[in-house]
Amino acid sequence: MIFKLIPWGSLRLVAIVTITASIAISSTGLYMVSMYRTLTSSLMINDGDAVITSSTSKLPHTGLVRYATTRIANVEGIELVSPEVITPVVLNGEVVFLRGVNLSLFNKLADATLVGDMTRGDNEVLVGIRLSNYLRIHVGDSYVITAIPTGKEVKVFVSGVFRSNTSLDDEVVGDLRVVQELRGVSPDYVTLVRIRAGGLIDTLLHNITSRSELDIMPLKVISRFGGNRSDVELVDELLGRGIKISSNLLWTSLILVLTASSLAMYYSVLWSLSSLKPIINSLKFLGLSSRVLTSVLAVKSLTLGITAGVLGYLISYLTLNLIFNITAVRLLLHSVELVNDFKVLTSSALLPSTIILLTILVKSKAIAEG
Amino acid sequence: MVGLLKLALGDVKILISEVFTISLIASLVVGATALTNVVRGYVVGDVFGLWNYLLVSVYKELRLITYLWSIPIWVLVLISMYLMSNYLSHDLIPTYVKLVYVGASKRFVITLLLLRYFVIAFLSWLIGLSLGLTASQVMFRFTAYVLRTPYEVPYLGLSDVVELAVITNLLILLGGIPTLTKLVRCRY
């Protein structure tokens, strides 16, 4: 009953600012989490995998490492060793990643559902489902692909389309040797070496690195491979810079949104309290203590903050989902999928309510004085 | 003139709260524009042969990502600025009605209201612009330092400044239309 003394309508302004702030926080947070997930998972297929990539390259996709598959494979406990070469190619007028793998390991590599057949010849490829939808590629189609590092052209036949629910769904998968040739590297060099060893991966990696007879660590970028070396290094530098600046942009936008929203909420509460002055004075005149008044305002604001936070998160999620469905949002040639994140929801709900509550508590003396 | 301005603006404390609330919301969009410009500024020249395809593709993706982030922020800020400006004269309506009651012409009261809206719109634009731009530059520098990434200067072009001025003023004035209508219909 006592809560009805201060009508919800008088807090409408705080509600507008709080919902605005929550939507801004949620959409930036969800955006950031989704982008990071795409960036970090672009090389991962299975969560338990360890991926060895070049330590000196700005971007793992452009770096190269020398590998010793047989030596690693001999280490006890290792279930799978997969050397992979990634090369950008032009397919159907778009730049996509072509991943060369040992195709006999494909079934072990990813738990994929395949439509069509596994590749039989060197010039047959498998296409991920998202890429197939994006470029409208079907089983049985033939395309000429141009390898970006070497300029080599090769006609490929799409023998199958697969769905693996991993980053592979945005790529073309072909034979390791063919892709190494297109990338312009000798058979000793790959973009990454994937190691799968169940839950023992940390221990095994420690064992591998501590055994002096194995020379796979430290990893290094080779100095001689096909193509113009200085161009590749510059491209690596430029791409790495672009990705780093983008990640910086995401962090900056998050900090900016948090700061501006917090201050806006603080001032909106002050604005509302000024508008509430006549009501507060009347209630005090009728005998309501300042403590009760502050408590009523605090409870109402807290309810408002949490409701606005959850509502803001839902609106942001639905809006971003719509945008992501309409536009093909891609990062590093991989589709960005919107992630539903509990931490973002918590921040969106708790931050506004905490700021509003703190402002009311700070201003409780002013409320008491009317 | 000073008296007229004082009458139009009312309580300075309330005015400060109003201007800062709107400015800080406007600064969100200013910051978003300045940050988007960092990626828009990249021009990839045709110097890497076929590699250029990859560079152009990735930079196009990055541009789209920053644009898509800024679109909801823009829409959000526009709606909330309009709604907030609905409340700008909320506290002053009784005063304006009293003025009409004691004999002030409606024209005079509408002039007072418009003056108030113009001052608030101008201050919100100016403060929002300064705060948003400064905050985005300082924060970008800060995150670049913490993450050890390259620093680029978030900036606003002249067209962005003009665009923001037009949008802020227009929205705040549009938000004042319900109050103006109430005053015009007042039968005192």
ipTM, 2 dp: 0.78
What is the predicted pLDDT for the residue at A1? 62
What is the predicted pLDDT for the residue at B44? 56
Q: Are the C-beta atoms of residues A330 and A43 closer than 8 Å to each other?
A: no
What is the predicted pLDDT for the residue at A226? 39
A-chain CB neighbours of B64 within 8 Å are 327, 329-330
CB under 8 Å to B129, separation ≥6 — which residues? B26, B27, B30, B156, B161, B164
Amino acid at B131: L
CB under 8 Å to B163, separation ≥6 — which residues? none
Which residues of chain A from 262 to 281 reach within 8 Å of chain B, CB to CB?
A: 263-264, 267-268, 270-271, 274-275
The shortest CB-CB distance from A235 to any of B55, B69, B147 is to: B55
Amino acid at A27: S
Helix segments in B10-50, DSSP class H: 12-40
Q: What is the DSSP string of A307-363?
A: HHHHHHHHHHHHHHHHHHHHS--EETTEE------HHHHHHHHHHHHHHHHHHHHHT
Q: Which of A116, A249, A207, A256 is nearest to B128 (CA)?
A: A256
When pLDDT is cut at 50, 70 and 90, the band that residue A222 belongs to is very low
CB contact under 8 A, B24 and A316: no
C-alpha to C-alpha distance for A301 and A350, rounded to whole angstroms: 12
Q: Which of A162, A180, A182 is nearest to A171 (CA)?
A: A162
Residue A215 pLDDT greater than 60, yes or no? no
pTM: 0.79
Q: Which of A263-267, A342-346, B30-34 has the highest mean pLDDT?
A: A342-346
Domain-wise residue ranges, chain B: 2-35+71-185
- Mean pLDDT of the A76-101 span: 87
Q: Which of B151, B40, B87, B72 is nearest to A317 (CA)?
A: B72
Q: Are the C-beta atoms of residues B141 and A245 closer than 8 Å to each other?
A: no
B-chain CB neighbours of A144 within 8 Å are none
Helix segments in B41-147, DSSP class H: 51-86, 93-101, 106-147
Give chain A's mean pLDDT: 82
Amino acid at B93: I
DSSP state of A10: G
CA distances from A186 to A191, A310, B172 (A): 12, 55, 65
- Mean pLDDT of the A76-97 span: 86
Q: Are the C-beta atoms of residues A116 and A83 closer than 8 Å to each other?
A: no
CA distances from A108 to A80, A160, A191, A241 (A): 8, 17, 19, 35
C-alpha to C-alpha distance for B43 and B59, rounded to whole angstroms: 9
CB under 8 Å to B12, separation ≥6 — which residues? none
What is the predicted pLDDT for the residue at A214? 35
The backbone torsions φ and ψ at residue A227, rounded to the nearest 5 degrees and listed phi first, read 90, 175
DSSP-assigned beta bridge partners for residue A83: A193
- Mean pLDDT of the A297-312 span: 90
Tokens standing for A161? Answer: 């389309």
The shortest CB-CB distance from B28 to any of A238, A244, A260 is to: A260
- Mean pLDDT of the A6-11 span: 80
Question: Using one digit for the tens of pLDDT, what is the confidence trace for B28-75?
Answer: 889 888 888 877 666 555 556 677 787 788 878 888 888 888 888 888
C-alpha to C-alpha distance for A145 and A135, rounded to whole angstroms: 13
C-alpha to C-alpha distance for A183 and A190, rounded to whole angstroms: 9
Residues in chain A: 370
Residue B12 pLDDT greater than 70, yes or no? yes
CB contact under 8 A, B51 and A232: yes
C-alpha to C-alpha distance for B124 and B172, rounded to whole angstroms: 10
**In the block, which residue shows the tokens 């929801």?**
A345
Q: Does B15 touch chain A (CB under 8 A)?
A: no
Mutation test of the interface with chain A: which of B9, B21, B55, B78, choosing the one with the most A Cβ atoms within 10 A?
A: B21
Q: Does A27 touch chain B (CB under 8 A)?
A: yes
Question: Using one digit for the tens of pLDDT, what is the confidence trace for A49-84?
Answer: 778 888 777 778 878 888 765 566 667 777 888 889
Q: Does B3 touch chain A (CB under 8 A)?
A: no
**In the block, which residue shows the tokens 């950031």?**
A32
Cis omega before residue A218 (within 30°)? yes
Amino acid at B149: T
C-alpha to C-alpha distance for A241 and A235, rounded to whole angstroms: 10
Q: A86-95, A300-309, A348-357, B8-17: which range is least confident on average?
A: B8-17
CA atoms within 13 A on the CB side of A112: 27
Q: What is the DSSP string of A279-323?
A: HHHHHHHTT--HHHHHHHHHHHHHHHHHHHHHHHHHHHHHHHHHH
Tokens standing for A5? Answer: 């003394």
CB contact under 8 A, A27 and B21: no
When pLDDT is cut at 50, 70 and 90, the band that residue A158 belongs to is very high
What is the predicted pLDDT for the residue at A139? 92
Q: Which of A132, A130, A164, A155 is nearest to A46 (CA)?
A: A164
CA distances from A254 to A1, A87, B29, B31, B78 (A): 40, 33, 13, 11, 19
How does strand A142-147 pair with strand A153-163?
Answer: antiparallel
Residue B18 pLDDT greater than 80, yes or no? yes
